[in-house]
Structure 1
């Protein structure tokens, strides 16, 4: 489902811009739903790892750090887009966010696969 959500998230904005259907509310809604997806996804992962390994485990601490980095990069990408920044004006956080956006589906899949392999999630009943 992650690749599908990423493709659809990209496609809706492109279609709106292509056909002149974009609006301020639509842009706000797109950013809002992106953020809510991120919060729900991260919260679910935190909860599941907490159940299996505990809050002070290396698994939990590392995923909190990874999601914090993803959050900073994502926020920087929104800032760069909204301000119309050019690549030559990017700071490191903007560049990080740009690459994060390009490869988000792969990042989520690799993260989840590595944590499942490490036994960080509760076993299915």
Structure 2
């Protein structure tokens, strides 16, 4: 027998079950945010690794970099450390690319220099000692 009261046992049990669902969702959301959030454990660890890599690149200085990419090193470390993770990764990629391009520019202009050296050694008569 139900009189339609707002305090009926069915409504009370339904409300309790609903609150348990909300509690479990809130707990999952809190734990997920602590792990994967912007101030979570993984984000802090990622920032520490990136900050160490940035410090290494800044310690190397502008030697071994092309003139077009040296401007990346003129930014203060405090500004770079405040960047989000994606921007730090982009900065590191740009600096590393500048160093690779510098090394590539030091290579001989002839793309076949190894083949030329091999042919030169083969064509020259071998003189025994």
The answer to which structure, 1 or 2, has the higher relative contact order (CA under 8 A, 6+ apart) is 1
More helix by share: 1
Q: TM (normalized to structure 1)?
A: 0.29
Q: TM (normalized to structure 2)?
A: 0.28
Larger Rg: 2
